[in-house]
Amino acid sequence: MNNQPQSPQSSSEEIDLGQLFQLIGNAFKKLFNFISNIFKGVFDLLITLLFFIQKQFIKLTIVGIIGLAIGIYLDMNKEPKYISSMVIEPNFNSVQQLYNNVSFYNELAEAEDSTALAEALDISSKEAITIKKFEVESYSDDNQKVLLFDKFVRSLDTTTQRAIDIESYLKNFNSLDARFHTVSVTATSNSIAKKIQNPIINSIDRNEYFNLQKQTSDKNIEFQEVIYNKQLSEIDSLQKLYKTVLIKQADKPMQGTNINLGGEGKSENKELAIINERDLLKQSLVELNEERANKSSILNVISAFPRKGVEIKGLFKSYKFLIPLFLIGMTLLILSLQSLNNYLKTHIKK
């Protein structure tokens, strides 16, 4: 039996591997101990908090009952608030002006400047003081964003289209680019929103720049319609001409042997091309009419303010929830500071 002694290099490698595995094992052990200590600390803190609440349970209960009573009283005597929303579609790049106007109205409402707000919205000061808040935000889902992306890409040249992808477009999507926007009004009157709908819209309609853009758009649509109708008329005349030629060719007497190598097929292809062109022009007219309808106003009202707003309700907006929560929180803070102070005094004495 041959027992060859191990080389010093082989023995050194075994020692190095053993030390490496020992280091890895120690690292995992420290990691698990660290995680375990965190859970133990959180558990101890939770238990301490529960003991503290148990010790102060009577005080917290009394404070909670007092807060609930105050909250119920305030809820019964507070003035109700109503919210009304309107969905609109801005045209001719008027969306920024809309946001600016709504922000201006909101500043006046928050400052309770009823005189200036009444003048801006053409209502009385008594009605203006009932308005508490204005909000405006974009209203768009993924489908609308995809449609906007398609419209945006079609307006670019071929080289630029290749450099833009939908993911980067959606990532950098600007809320002002959305097609629809929601204007909301919060007030103590449930009917004031309907009264200020026209003043809000008219504040945009009176803008000279947007009116000029609308007039230009109307002229372009009328001009394009004239061109389409003229092209349709020319196609109708050309189609009648082809029919007349085909009828005359059919009425000619057969003279000898007549060999037609594709002539009839060419006539059919020409007539089919005319029919296709006619259909494309009709579709263009339909799209033009849709554009005329969409751009008939600077602001299209998709959904107007309702006659009466919806009362704002909810547990998280009621005093009977907020007041007890606030009082209990303040009581916990005061008792915690008191306990901390007692602990520090005891620690100093030791």
- DSSP conformation letters of 135-200: EEEEE--HHHHHHHHHHHHHTS-HHHHHH--HHHHHHT--GGG-SEEEEEEEESSSSHHHHHHHHH
Q: Are residues 66 and 103 in the same domain?
A: no
Q: What is the pLDDT of residue 13?
A: 54
Going from the C-alpha of 297 to that of each of 118, 198, 206, 222, 292, the distances in angstroms are 25, 13, 12, 16, 9
Look at residue 118 and tell me if it is in a domain: yes
Q: Are residues 63 and 113 in the same domain?
A: no
Q: What is the pLDDT of residue 261?
A: 44
Place of tokens 């964003």: 145
Look at residue 329 and tell me if it is in a domain: yes
Place of tokens 């109503």: 82
Contact 94, 177 (CB under 8 A): no
Q: Are residues 169 and 119 in the same domain?
A: yes
CA angle 264, 269, 270 (to 5 degrees): 100
Contact 134, 193 (CB under 8 A): no
SS3 300: strand
Give the domain range for residue 181: 81-209+301-312
Q: What is the pLDDT of residue 262?
A: 47
Q: Are residues 116 and 172 in the same domain?
A: yes
Look at residue 322 and tell me if it is in a domain: yes
Structural domains in the chain (count): 2
Q: Are residues 53 and 101 in the same domain?
A: no
Look at residue 172 and tell me if it is in a domain: yes
Look at residue 17 and tell me if it is in a domain: no
pTM of the shown model: 0.67
Look at residue 11 and tell me if it is in a domain: no
Q: Are residues 164 and 113 in the same domain?
A: yes
Q: Are residues 91 and 145 in the same domain?
A: yes
Q: Are residues 103 and 145 in the same domain?
A: yes
Contact 238, 274 (CB under 8 A): yes
Q: Are residues 145 and 188 in the same domain?
A: yes
Look at residue 168 and tell me if it is in a domain: yes
Q: What is the pLDDT of residue 173?
A: 64
Q: How many helices (H) and strands (E) does the chain have?
A: 12, 5
Look at residue 6 and tell me if it is in a domain: no
Q: Are residues 102 and 140 in the same domain?
A: yes
Q: Are residues 90 and 71 in the same domain?
A: no
Question: Which residue positions in the chain have pLDDT lower than 70?
Answer: 1-17, 140-145, 148, 151-152, 155-163, 165, 168-174, 251-268, 350
Q: Are residues 38 and 124 in the same domain?
A: no
Q: What is the pLDDT of residue 273?
A: 79
